[in-house]
Amino acid sequence: MAGCRGRIRMTNLHRLNSISELSTLSPNDTTTPPTHYFQVTKPINLPKTKPCSHLVLRHDFAFTYGKSPVLAPYSPPSHCPSHQKFSKIVLLWNATSKGRQFDRIFGVWLDGVELLRSCTAEPRTNGIVWSVEKDVTRYYSLLLNKNQNQTLAVYLGNLVDKTYTGVYHVNVSFQFYPIEENLVDGYDSWADLVMPISRNLPLNDGLWFEIKNSTDFALKELKIPQNVYRAVLEVYVSFHENDEFWYSNLPNEYIDANNLTSTPGNGPFREVLVSIDGVVVGSIWPFTVIFTGGVNPLLWRPITAIGSFDLPSYNIEITPFLGEILDGKSHEIGFNVTNALNVWYIDANLHLWLDKKSEKTQGQVSKHVSTPLVVSLVSNFSGLDGTFLTSTSRSIKLTGWVNSSYGNITTGSIQDFSYQNSIVMGNNGNMQIVRQDIHFNDSVQAENSQSLQVHSFESLKKFSLFLYSDTFDQGNKTYLSISNVSLGYNEKKKSKGSADSGFEKSSLKNHQSGQGNMVVKNNLVVSGIGNTQQVYKYNGVDLCYFRNISSSNYTILYDNVGSKCSKTTQLHNHRGLGFHRLWPIHSRRVSLWSGLVNSKPKGG
């Protein structure tokens, strides 16, 4: 079954499959309140206006695996004044569950456009609650489309039986915040049209494409309007089963030499490639999201891992390539994953800006450079112990012009990537240490025919990971499992509108670490602990946010929150006029439960 969880490849981690936590709570406990799970992130910067709330779906997800997504009709809220415009739209996912259950991957789509990719929390005897709030204003034209009947689809594959009793009770709603009187018209800066690059209903699964191996391609044909002047492809990515922990996968030569036939391999490097008509136009080297049942589930209670409740999507500027697809014909957008094992879930949304003063724009690609990927691997092992160093880099550059009623605009986009991974195996294959750094930088520059800047954007990202895991035999069918993990998501952004506007800057430093151990006997966790610490620091134009928090086995130890901007961060917000408005600036798997013999769903 496609859940967040997946199989583990290492010798020690294989032993942790299908184990169960001995709950300290009585099954009949009615006094302990439900546990509130949450992901640490900055709050959405909301206007002061009162929102219109619009409940779209309410459903209990129980026997939903292998069945059609749950569907609900959608239309813009009729109880909001029809003439009103909105400066912010927020998707609200509220859920509860009680009992035992695995974590499950799920998605929310509106007419095939994915709005949210997320993972459920794992319930406990006294029950849990969690919510996700996501700013979905960038889908403004889709959410406020009054010209057609639309369908909201939610896929959350779940199974319930006498062992896995957790049902997910879910509400999905939207909040529409009216524009403030003194607010600059920013609502119309979003794309005029958002087209889905996903599978079509009816389905007995999510709308995402499944990439099952390194030669597998997902393809979707589409025809775009001929008056497009800007295009951005937003890609959703998640990894499951044999590739859930791809960053710890070992080289095939090690697996073959040790006859580890059930251990996932292909090494620790993965790359999502995006193509149009077979030409590579962009790449994604994804952040290492750990789901709520991963490594040691006690680490993520109640603070979940970075990105687990709201998986990041990735933007690829394809405006330079528009000249190849403005001919009114169908074209093919494709996805594949380098070194992939079963399974990756991928889909995308194509954001298009339309020239309302012209029926047809024209364009041409003037430069396209994609450096070949060369992966360096240095292996040194004897038996099950050894070291493995993997590194690589890539650059993709596109330049092209589009002629519209706004003039002849030349856009250049650059993606630069670098990757380093080291794996140490010890203790006869029972111990593994993984260190990984991904540098993921992209920039966009747009100029008019007078070489005046129309728009610029730069993002510098660093994704870091450290993972230590080991097991020690205690005798009497008992062993001790120890795991330490550290995650980092850092990003600096800089953007600029028209030539007479200033820079808008933001920075994010998000670091999380956890230490856990479990004593396991006869596939039951007889004792264990998970400690988690996280420091989140964001400085932006309109919002600054700081949070330093720590937990241990469901209990918050401290939680310090602040909203003062760093004095060392200089932020400038001088909005220009004219074309600036046309170029918006957007701003190891361990189950705690005993396994099912015949009805256990396939891991995801």
For range 109-128, the mean pLDDT: 96
* All residues at 6 or more sequence positions from 35 whose CB lies less than 8 Å from its CB, including other chains: 124, 126, 127, 128, 129, 301, 302, 554
For range 546-573, the mean pLDDT: 82
Tens-digit pLDDT profile for residues 411-444: 999 999 999 999 999 999 999 999 999 999 999 9
Which amino acid, residue 328? G
pLDDT number for residue 293? 87
Strands 35-37 and 128-135: parallel
Q: Domain range for residue 157?
A: 33-181
When comparing pLDDT for 475 and 550, which is higher? 550
pLDDT number for residue 215? 97
Neighbours of 257 (CB within 10 A): 15
pLDDT number for residue 567? 60
**523 pLDDT higher than 90:** no
Q: How does residue 524 score in pLDDT terms, banded at 50, 70 and 90? A: low
Task: DSSP letter for 18, please.
Answer: T
**168 pLDDT higher than 60:** yes
Q: How does residue 10 score in pLDDT terms, banded at 50, 70 and 90? A: very low
Do the domain assignments include residue 491?
Answer: no
Give 56's strand partners.
Answer: none
**359 pLDDT higher than 80:** yes
Tokens (6 digits) for 385: 């112990």
pLDDT number for residue 565? 85
Do the domain assignments include residue 292?
Answer: no
**300 pLDDT higher than 80:** yes
pLDDT number for residue 28? 57
Q: How many angstroms from the chain centroid is the CA of residue 219?
A: 21
User: Do 168 and 95 meet the contact criterion of CB atoms below 8 Å apart?
Assistant: yes
pLDDT number for residue 20? 40
**380 pLDDT higher than 50:** yes
pLDDT number for residue 499? 55
Tokens (6 digits) for 187: 């609502």
Do the domain assignments include residue 194?
Answer: no
- How far is 259 from 479, CA to CA, in rounded Å? 24
For range 151-177, the mean pLDDT: 95
Share of the chain above pLDDT 90, in %: 74
Share of the chain above pLDDT 70, in %: 86
User: Do 530 and 466 meet the contact criterion of CB atoms below 8 Å apart?
Assistant: no
User: Do 213 and 246 meet the contact criterion of CB atoms below 8 Å apart?
Assistant: no
pLDDT number for residue 100? 86
Do the domain assignments include residue 421?
Answer: no
Q: How does residue 387 score in pLDDT terms, banded at 50, 70 and 90? A: very high
**373 pLDDT higher than 80:** yes
With b for 16 or more beta-carbon neighbours within 10 A and e for fewer, the 472-503 pattern comes to eeeeeeebebbbbbbbbbbbbbbbbbbbebeb
**502 pLDDT higher than 80:** no
Tens-digit pLDDT profile for residues 331-349: 999 999 999 999 999 999 9
Query: What is the widest separation between alpha-carbon atoms in the chain?
Result: 79
When comparing pLDDT for 275 and 523, which is higher? 275
Do the domain assignments include residue 309?
Answer: no
**3 pLDDT higher than 60:** no
H or E element in which residue 141 lies: helix 140-143
Task: DSSP letter for 180, please.
Answer: P
Tens-digit pLDDT profile for residues 316-329: 999 999 999 999 99
**584 pLDDT higher than 80:** no
Count of the separate structural domains present in the chain = 1
Do the domain assignments include residue 377?
Answer: no
DSSP 520-536: EETTEEEEEEEEEEEEE
pLDDT number for residue 146? 84
Give 465's strand partners.
Answer: 436, 487
* All residues at 6 or more sequence positions from 167 whose CB lies less than 8 Å from its CB, including other chains: 60, 61, 62, 97, 98, 99, 101, 158, 160
Average model confidence (pLDDT) across the chain: 88
Do the domain assignments include residue 148?
Answer: yes
Give 316's strand partners.
Answer: 233
Please report, for the domain that includes residue 87, its CATH number.
2.60.120.230
**223 pLDDT higher than 50:** yes
pLDDT number for residue 506? 96
Which has the closest alpha carbon to 308: 545, 110, 116?
Answer: 116
Burial class (CB in 10 A: 0-12, 13-18, 19+), 571: middle
User: Do 128 and 175 meet the contact criterion of CB atoms below 8 Å apart?
Assistant: no
Do the domain assignments include residue 379?
Answer: no
3-class state of residue 514 by DSSP: strand
